[in-house]
Amino acid sequence: MAISPINIASATGVNWLKEAQEATAAAEDPGGLMGMLQDSKYPASIQNFLTKSQKTAQNFALITQGTQQSAATLTLQMADAAQAKRMEEKMAQAQKFNAQQTNYNPPTELDAFIYFEDGSNIDTTTNIMTMVNGTQIDITTGQEVVDLSSIINLANGAYIDTKKNIMTLSNGIKIDTITGLQITV
């Protein structure tokens, strides 16, 4: 019987020696028609049949085991790839919603007081503008700021500002309480 040359090249190059030994053993005990012809030189026996059947069963078991291991490995690889893809999608979505703006300058805050050339000023913390003559105006409403502790309310909606000595009538006319003269604005 002639032994065929052994193929040493393999996808698993680190196991080439083991594969070479297995290939040599397989060449000595060929299956199929060659194996049947080799068995014809020996008398047929139950022991020979059982030995061949046992070897065949072992080979099928190895094939099945290798297939199951390959399937399990493939399943794990696919699960890892799917998990990695889900994580990448979550990271991309998180970056999309939490995107950092580039070239962003935070708004500058106003100074606590802004002074004008005519001597008036604005207090930006209380939103009150103080004029040169002492009149204070709420810059959010445009109304004059009145210290309520210095106000005396009169009938018909009139009131007296004791701090400024001004009486304001219900129709809006202002009178100086010291001189009795009407104040025009």
Q: Which of 103, 120, 122, 104 is nearest to 112 (CA)?
A: 122
91-109 per-position pLDDT tens digit? 888 887 776 666 777 778 8
Which pLDDT score is estimated for 115?
92
Q: Measuring CA to CA, how many Å separate 8 from each of 4, 27, 29, 31?
A: 12, 14, 19, 21
User: Which amino acid would we find at residue 182?
Assistant: Q
112-142 per-position pLDDT tens digit? 889 999 999 999 989 999 999 888 899 998 8
CA-based end-to-end distance of the chain: 130
13 pLDDT more than 60:
no
The pair phi, psi for residue 140, each rounded to 5°, is: -85, -30
Query: The pTM is what?
Result: 0.34
Question: How many Cβ atoms from other residues are within 10 Å of residue 115's Cβ?
Answer: 10
